[in-house]
Amino acid sequence: MMIGRRKLIAGLGAGLTLGGCQKILETGPVDGFAQSLDLFTRDAQRLVTSRDALAREYSAAERSPDFRANGSRTVDTPEYRRHLAQGFSGWRLAVGGMVARPLSLSIADLQHMPARTQITRHDCVEGWSAIGQWTGTPLSHLLKLAGVSDKARYVLFRCADRYGDTPYYESVDMIEALHPQTIMAWRMNGQPLPERHGAPLRLRVERQLGYKHAKYVTGIEAIADYRDIAGGKGGFWEDRAGYQWWAGI
């Protein structure tokens, strides 16, 4: 249903996008037009949904007994095996990029910060959904602590897993990054985040489709633009399979 609305808005965008002209000059017609259409879809969706609107939350009884794991289910490196064996006591999250105070945080550090718990539905673009409970540190708290620059427009998530040589990564804009339900989760259904769901730390960005929810996160960077990073489309599946950067549900 909601995806239908997105397509409708994207369709309108095809007829109406004019603001992309400058970007077309900068990056070439295809990329510039695709990105401006994607951002137009985002802006159009935001016209009809408040920037603070919360994703629906569910009761504990509604949690899915089997929450599917998708994409990487582990990180196939000796380093990750070592962290797993050590209960991730040596794992560090780097917070950097356009910030006044870069941070290096352990999972214990994160667990001593304000936390939020939410029961939400995960929607994968491949056509399945599952309801789970997530506890973690609000990303807004981390960005404030690091002193994020007001010139930063996006937040990039770097992940430990790779597909061949290509690391998984994702990015969201500042409105999604600062949204109250956007958390760096270290618990799922009351247990430490399981290996297959991204241990020890993964993003939950509840108004977006599943592929935005980066697992095995090692780094968070405040950035001005994602076009000069990796394949330039803002995320692993965006680069590889043409998934839309804007994945608003």
Ligand X SMILES: Nc1nc2c(c(=O)[nH]1)N[C@H]1C(S)=C(S)[C@@H](COP(=O)(O)O)O[C@H]1N2
Helix (H, G, I), strand (E, B) or coil at 123: strand
Q: Does 161 bind ligand X (CB under 6 A)?
A: yes
Rounded Cα–Cα distance for residues 24 and 154 (Å): 20
Distance CA 191, CA 109 (A): 17
Altogether, the residues listed in the chain come to a count of 249
Q: Which of 34, 155, 185, 214 binds ligand X (CB under 6 A)?
A: 214
My answer on whether omega of the bond before 200 falls inside 30° of 0, hence cis, is yes
C-beta of 100: minimal distance to ligand X in Å?
28
Q: H/E element holding 10? A: helix 2-16
Rule CB under 6 A: is residue 72 a binding residue for ligand X? yes
- Per-residue x/- track, 109-148, ligand X (CB under 6 A): ---------------x------------------------
**Binding window for ligand X (CB under 6 A); candidates: 13-21, 44-52, 143-151, 208-216:** 208-216
CB closer to Mo ion, 80 vs 211: 211
159 binds ligand X (CB under 6 A): yes
Q: Which residues neighbour 36 within 8 Å (Cβ) at sequence distance 6 or greater?
A: 17, 19, 20, 23, 24
Partner whose footprint covers residue 157, from ligand X, Mo ion, none (CB < 5 to 8 Å by kind):
none
Tokens of 15: 């007829």
Residues that bind ligand X (CB under 6 A): 68-72, 124, 159, 161, 168, 197, 210-211, 213-216
